[in-house]
Amino acid sequence: MNALFRIVELAEGKIFISGKDIAGLGTHILRSNLAIIPQDPVLFSNTLRYNIDPFGQGDDAEILDILKKVQLDKFIESFEGGLDGIVAEGGENFSQGQRQLICIARALLRKPKILGKCV
């Protein structure tokens, strides 16, 4: 992952994505096209909307569509405040599985070229 995100540069060899050597890509462009779903999900003390779309790039319809894809749509309908409901520190008001699904939704909303899971 460090090499894929160019946190460290390769000593030898090359990594290609869609036929392009990532060494020739700017790190901002490269990293904006990659997403990782962490084993231990990270949620912020903020709204559910912020946790799914921290950069405010998606509209409600997109966010709700992603939540349906990860099968959280029914839960969100009953969540106090809906998308604007407050996420407790560390996401304590969600189960471990729900936290993981929220992280998956966050990654999917970005529409990355590559989506990976860290273990």
Q: How far apart are CA 37 and CA 105, in angstroms?
A: 10
Query: Over 80: is that where the pLDDT of 119 sits?
Result: no
The pTM for the full model equals: 0.82
What local confidence, expressed as pLDDT, does residue 115 receive?
80
**Could you tell me the pLDDT band of residue 114, with boundaries at 50, 70 and 90?**
confident
- β partners of residue 86: 47
85 occurs within a structural domain: yes
| pLDDT tens digits for range 49-68 | 999 999 999 999 999 999 99
Q: Give how many domains the chain has, as a whole number.
A: 1
* Full residue range of the structural domain in which residue 72 is found: 39-111
CA separation (Å) from 39 to 42, 112, 118?
A: 9, 18, 6
117 occurs within a structural domain: no
| pLDDT tens digits for range 5-56 | 999 999 999 999 888 999 999 999 899 888 888 788 989 999 999 999 999 9
Q: Which residues of 81-119 are buried (b: 16+ CB within 10 A; e: fewer)?
A: eebeeebeeebebbeeebbbbbbbbbbbbbeeeeeeeee
CATH (domain of 90): 3.40.50.300
Q: How far apart are CA 88 and CA 47, in angstroms?
A: 9
84 occurs within a structural domain: yes
